[in-house]
Structure 1
Amino acid sequence: MATAPEASLSARNKRTGFYMLGFALAMLGLGYASVPLYDLFCRVTGFAGTTQRATDDEASLAERIAASGATRDITIRFDTNVAPDLSWSFRPEHPTDRIAIGSRDQAIFLAKNDGTEPVVGTASFNVYPNEAGKYFSKVQCFCFTEQRLEPGQEVRMPVVYFVDPAIFDDPLVEDLDSITLSYTFHKKKDAAS
């Protein structure tokens, strides 16, 4: 039979074991949740130049807000890159665009498979300066889906976007005169071509 000190020690050991098990399960859950939580954080704050995704209704609202008050133009620069393992050429139809803040606009990007096999690519993106990310909204973008190109195939890919008039209320970027939208196409690793 266990003595009182031994029983007390055994109860404390069990309690500590349950705390450690709970802690380990919480860390496991946090590990699984970290990617979606980080993605949510970036989308909400524009951290690291993450752009926003907007609906047609949100774009229309931004246009109405811009039309009701003073607005100004801003230059949008387009930067394109291709990962070394992807045999594509990729460029904007026009390297820059000048738009009114709050107005919806469209840019066209051209991609061509210069290789001899079908390839699926995905685009990553960001804007510079990073602080402008939470005001740069895309309504439609090729970056939302995978792109499969046959050998020699060239496609025109539109991006419909706007710069939110709320940018005027942020002292970090209220006087910004240009934003760079940058894309990099990567070969989809697990794609069956």
Structure 2
Amino acid sequence: MPNETQAADAKKQRSNRMVAGMCIAFVGGMVGMAYAAVPLYAMFCQITGYGGTTQRVEQYSDKILDRTITVRFDANTSGGLPWDFKPVARDVQIKIGETTQIQYVAKNIFDVPTQGRATFNVTPDLAGAYFNKVECFCFTDTTLKPGETLDMPVVFFVDPEIVNVPELKDIKTITLSYTFFPIEGEKPVAAAPKADGETKTINFDGKAGG
């Protein structure tokens, strides 16, 4: 029969294994929550408009107020994407609830095809929940050939309910901003002559290679 010391050691080992198992489960749960946090946060933003996230709708507004608001448009590129990207008009003045279409335009100024994907936000942040887009180009993979220009329409309206929000009832201007990023993957290269007649490669980010 095991003596008291052996029994105590066995009990201690079982306790250690239990603690270790609990720690592993806790760490695994935290990792799972971290991965889930990103899509859950994105879903939260889409539903509430938190962080300036606009709303995507399938139908136009059925109510138009006799009150105007100015919507400004901003355009940016990031990550070395070689595009000339801008709105056709810098701003429009519309009635709250009025469905409006505006245009952005993008041109690939590189000598090989390039791909981009746009994200967006609205300022002030609280207005995102009341800025409804019927049609847009956000989160769509877009490929442009060398020198190609593409018109990108956005159809939207400002929800009339915005005038019932205390923090937004006197709002005069909303800014819609898009940023295009290069799509992750192998970066295209273009050949350019060196001074000695050889060639060098120019990477997608504009840096020269050997």
Structure 1 length as normaliser, TM-score? 0.86
How many Å apart are 1:84 and its aligned residue? Answer: 5.7
Q: Structure 2 stretches of 5 or more lacking a match?
A: 189-210
Larger helix share, 1 or 2: 1
Letter in structure 2 aligned against 1:75: T
Asked if 1:156 is matched to 2:143, the reply is no
Match of 1:186 among 181, 188, 199: 181
How many Å apart are 1:189 and its aligned residue? Answer: 2.3
Q: Secondary structure at the match of 1:14?
A: helix
Moved more, 43-52 or 123-132: 43-52
Residues 99, 83 of structure 1: alpha-carbon distance in 2 compared, 3 angstrom cutoff = same
Query: What residue is the counterpart of 1:29 in the other structure?
Result: 32
Query: What residue is the counterpart of 2:122 in the other structure?
Result: 127
Q: Secondary structure at the match of 1:144?
A: coil
Q: Tell me the number of residue pairs that the alignment of Structure 1 and Structure 2 aligns.
A: 185
Runs of 4+ in 1 over 4 A off after TM superposition: none
Residues 6, 181 of structure 1: alpha-carbon distance in 2 compared, 3 angstrom cutoff = same
1-structure distance, mates of 2:124, 2:172: 11
Asked if 1:15 is matched to 2:10, the reply is no
Q: Structure 1 stretches of 5 or more lacking a match?
A: none
1-structure distance, mates of 2:3, 2:67: 81
Query: What residue is the counterpart of 2:170 in the other structure?
Result: 175
2-structure distance, mates of 1:2, 1:107: 85
Asked if 1:47 is matched to 2:50, the reply is yes
Structure possessing the higher relative contact order (Cα contacts under 8 Å, 6 or more residues apart): 1
Q: 1:82-133 deviations in whole A, cap 9, x for unaligned?
A: 2261221111111111122122211111111111111111111111111111
1-structure distance, mates of 2:50, 2:3: 58
Residues 2, 127 of structure 1: alpha-carbon distance in 2 compared, 3 angstrom cutoff = farther
Asked if 1:106 is matched to 2:101, the reply is yes
Q: Secondary structure at the match of 1:117?
A: coil
Asked if 1:147 is matched to 2:142, the reply is yes
Q: Is the 8 A contact 2:121 2:176 kept in 1?
A: yes
Who wins on radius of gyration, i.e. which is larger?
2
Letter in structure 1 aligned against 2:165: D
2-structure distance, mates of 1:47, 1:72: 25
Q: Secondary structure at the match of 1:78?
A: strand
Q: Is the 8 A contact 2:119 2:139 kept in 1?
A: no
Structure 2 length as normaliser, TM-score? 0.80
Q: Secondary structure at the match of 1:168?
A: helix
2-structure distance, mates of 1:5, 1:169: 69
Query: What residue is the counterpart of 1:92 in the other structure?
Result: 87
Match of 1:137 among 124, 129, 132: 132
Query: What residue is the counterpart of 2:67 in the other structure?
Result: 72
Letter in structure 1 aligned against 2:145: E
Residues 132, 2 of structure 1: alpha-carbon distance in 2 compared, 3 angstrom cutoff = farther
Identity value in percent: 42
